[in-house]
Structure 1
């Protein structure tokens, strides 16, 4: 599994499509579709929509079925801390799940202005 993180609008999806050679039709926006498609975009949105579910368990299923999936997640922990407790909880859930995924990933990259910074992993993409 490869984890790509970065701010909104920083080019994560374009980068993933370029590196994998996939097209827009190969992009999943939920874990069920990510079991079959090579790219899963919007992890942070999915976490927001399912706050009370066992998210790590659902992602385990994705990784069992699709161990080479490329997961994209917007960074949400930077900036002003929200006043709303629900927003703070969501940010923490995203950060904690990204930590779990980063430990399990073969490669982790941060995308900023369309440029990659390799945080984990060596060499070229498979």
Structure 2
């Protein structure tokens, strides 16, 4: 599994599609579809994702997640909890990932893993 993180609008999906040669039709937007597609974009929308089930069904998936923990801390306790859940999910995913990259302004920073994409 590969984990791609970065802020909204930083070019994460475009980067993955360019690196893999995949098309937008091969990108899942929900956990159920992600079981059978090579890329899952929008992981941050699913903070209670059952990652064990997803990775068992699709161990080579590329997960794309917006960073949600930076910026102004929300006054709403539910929004703070959601940010915490997404952050913890990303920590678990990063620990299991073969490769983790952060995309900023369309540029990649490799946080974990060596070499180039397959």
Q: Report the TM-score range of the alignment, normalised by the length of the smaller protein.
A: over 0.9
User: In 1, distance between residues paired with 2:21 and 2:33?
Assistant: 18
CA-atom RMSD, angstroms?
A: 0.9
Runs of 4+ residues deviating >3 angstroms:
none
Select the residue among 54, 65, 77 that pairs with 1:73.
Answer: 65
Q: Normalising to structure 1: TM-score of the pair?
A: 0.91
The number of residue pairs the alignment matches comes to 118
- Structure 1: distance between partners of 2:59 and 2:112: 17
Which residue of structure 2 aligns with residue 26 of structure 1?
26
Unmatched 5+ stretches in structure 1: 48-52
Scaled by the length of structure 2, what TM-score is found? 0.97
Separation in 1 of the partners of 2:72 and 2:9? Answer: 19
Q: CA offsets, 1:63-87, max 9 Å, x none? A: 1111110000000000111100000
Are the aligned partners of 1:108 and 1:121 in contact in 2 as well (CA < 8 Å)? yes
Structure 2 gap ranges (5+): none
